């Protein structure tokens, strides 16, 4: 076991910015005291016009949940207020009206949904379930309804059966074998009722519906019916849930963000700095072909997604993906051009965050795409490969601990004991991120501090902070949506469509 030297420091919890530039480190407390960063004030609340898509049972459960979050909710009295903050009610916290009765409701037949979710063919099952929700979205489009976000309530059997590793058996207790599926795909003209389009989409319902709904410019919020349970008690045989106040916070911030308003921003950030996460997703085929994608995050917390090129980027030798010079140039040029179209602000520094190493030829392509006078730095952010740290006390290592091992590398514990909450929420010994400046020049401590700040930009959860920065936290999900849904007609650049 290694003994850490005295270069270990602990970053203070990064502050967030709320309404009127007020700052606090915890998003729930900041929203309670000040309100969202993008707000006209509690006196002029906005409104979230959402569409509710689900079975009659799911719709009823959501309406009861929506009514509940329009009122104050506290955790049980014996529980910590620091760990489970009081929810003051949606309008009070988000400065927006969230109607308990949905402005738009599209009911989905429960029997049809159950039948589709029990189809033995994996591709057909997920495709048909997605079609039922997509038909509801199309119905909204025909009404020319102005919808901010679509709430898709899914029964537990959809969650269970419509994921990549789900297995569903037919009445004869068998599933289509891989060879059968392959022959169907190659000879679909011999199967009059079989649609080969099934294979053009992800086997994950969540990621397929998000991709296909982009054609209608509609952000999606998926909620399992079990999440809508109003009781704080977890009964035997039920899915374990956090307290209702916690679920209210998480859903409320997600809905506010997907409706087009940011709940909070990072505080004290350097002007003109952006962070780009480079993501890869391997395709089904020869094992080497992969697609690249870039996720750009700005100093105001906004996100942009750009789809790169397909190519033989995966190397079986080092089990990493590496772009060619031309592909790297095209990827960074594309995301910067998208940024100019949407924002147009001057950039001063660009930090690339990659899980893989950045090879020299790849780096030259990125340099060629970077505008003159803009500082470019390539950083690898990856798991720690087994390194762990232990405190002399019984508590785990403190979140924000940074061990500077050299002028260009170090280890950051983004998970760990949180002093303000007086707890560690994990079950295992906290795992650090290895941070390595591979190209360009920057202060490693400043790079680590920026990465630590980016752990607070997950608007899908109202938490003090995540274990990974947003630049790499969603890379797999974004890659899956872009790559595994080749039949999708449109991919939009706004990050809210992907989370």
Tallying the residues shown for the chain, one arrives at: 499
Query: Backbone phi, then psi, for 101, in 5-degree steps?
Result: -90, 120
Structure tokens given for 76 = 């049980």
Note the pLDDT of residue 310.
87
Q: Write down the pLDDT at residue 192.
A: 54
Q: What strands, in cross-sheet order, belong to the sheet with 273-282?
A: 8-10, 401-406, 409-413, 433-439, 375-383, 349-354, 273-282, 290-298, 303-311
- CATH numbers and ranges of domains, the chain: 39-261 (3.40.50.2300), 266-497 (3.30.420.10)
**Mean pLDDT over each residue of the chain, to the nearest integer:** 91
Which run of H or E residues covers position 182? helix 178-186
Longest dimension (CA), the chain: 71
> 278-304 pLDDT, tens per residue?
988 887 666 688 888 999 998 777 899
pLDDT of residue 1: 45
- Rounded mean pLDDT for each run of 10 residues along the chain, 499 residues in total: 65 97 97 96 95 97 98 93 95 97 97 96 95 97 93 97 90 57 54 68 95 96 97 87 97 97 92 92 76 86 88 89 95 93 87 95 97 96 87 88 96 94 88 97 97 95 94 88 87 94
Q: Which runs of consecutive H residues, i.e. helices, occur in 3-155?
A: 27-33, 56-69, 90-94, 110-117, 122-142
């Amino acid at each position: 076991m290694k003994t850490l030297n005295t270069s270990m420091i602990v970053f203070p919890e990064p502050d967030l910015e709320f309404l009127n530039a007020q700052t606090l480190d915890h998003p729930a407390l900041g929203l309670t005291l000040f309100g969202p960063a993008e707000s006209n004030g509690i006196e002029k609340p906005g409104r979230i016009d959402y569409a509710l898509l689900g079975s009659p049972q799911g719709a009823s459960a959501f309406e009861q949940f929506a009514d509940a979050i329009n009122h104050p909710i506290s955790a049980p009295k014996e529980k910590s207020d620091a760990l489970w903050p009081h929810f003051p009610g949606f309008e009070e916290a988000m400065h927006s009206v969230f109607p308990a009765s949905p402005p738009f409701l599209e009911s989905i037949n429960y029997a049809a949904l159950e039948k589709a979710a029990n189809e033995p063919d994996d591709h057909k099952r997920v495709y048909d379930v997605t079609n039922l929700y997509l038909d509801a979205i199309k119905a909204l489009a025909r009404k020319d309804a102005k919808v901010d976000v679509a709430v898709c309530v899914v029964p537990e059997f959809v969650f269970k059966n419509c994921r990549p590793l789900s297995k569903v058996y037919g009445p004869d207790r068998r599933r289509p074998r891989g060879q059968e599926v392959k022959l169907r795909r190659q000879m679909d003209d011999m199967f009059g009722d079989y649609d080969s389009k099934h294979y053009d989409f992800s086997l994950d319902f969540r990621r397929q519906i998000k991709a296909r709904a982009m054609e209608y410019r509609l952000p999606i919020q998926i909620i399992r019916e079990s999440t809508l349970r109003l009781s704080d008690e977890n009964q035997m045989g039920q899915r374990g849930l956090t307290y209702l106040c916690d679920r209210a916070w998480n859903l409320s911030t997600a809905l506010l963000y997907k409706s087009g308003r940011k709940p909070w921003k990072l505080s004290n950030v350097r002007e003109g700095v952006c962070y780009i996460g480079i993501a890869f997703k391997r395709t089904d085929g020869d094992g080497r072909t992969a697609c690249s994608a870039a996720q750009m995050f700005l100093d105001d917390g906004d996100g942009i997604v750009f789809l790169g090129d397909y190519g033989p980027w995966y190397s079986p030798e080092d089990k990493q993906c590496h772009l060619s010079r031309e592909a790297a140039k095209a990827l960074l040029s594309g995301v910067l051009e998208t940024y100019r179209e949407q924002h147009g602000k001057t950039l001063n520094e660009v930090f690339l965050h990659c899980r893989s190493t950045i090879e020299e030829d790849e780096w030259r392509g990125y340099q060629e795409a970077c505008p003159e006078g803009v500082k470019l730095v390539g950083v690898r952010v990856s798991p720690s490969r087994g390194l762990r740290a232990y405190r002399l006390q019984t508590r785990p290592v403190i979140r924000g601990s940074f061990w500077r091992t050299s002028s260009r590398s170090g280890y950051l514990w983004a998970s760990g004991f949180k002093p303000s909450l007086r707890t560690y929420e994990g079950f295992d010994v906290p795992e650090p991120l290895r941070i390595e400046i591979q190209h360009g020049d920057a202060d490693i401590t400043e790079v680590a501090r920026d990465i630590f700040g980016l752990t607070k930009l997950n608007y899908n959860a109202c938490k003090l902070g995540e274990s990974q920065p947003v630049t790499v936290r969603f890379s797999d999900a974004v890659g899956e949506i872009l790559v595994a849904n080749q039949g999708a007609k449109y991919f939009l650049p706004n990050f809210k469509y992907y989370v």
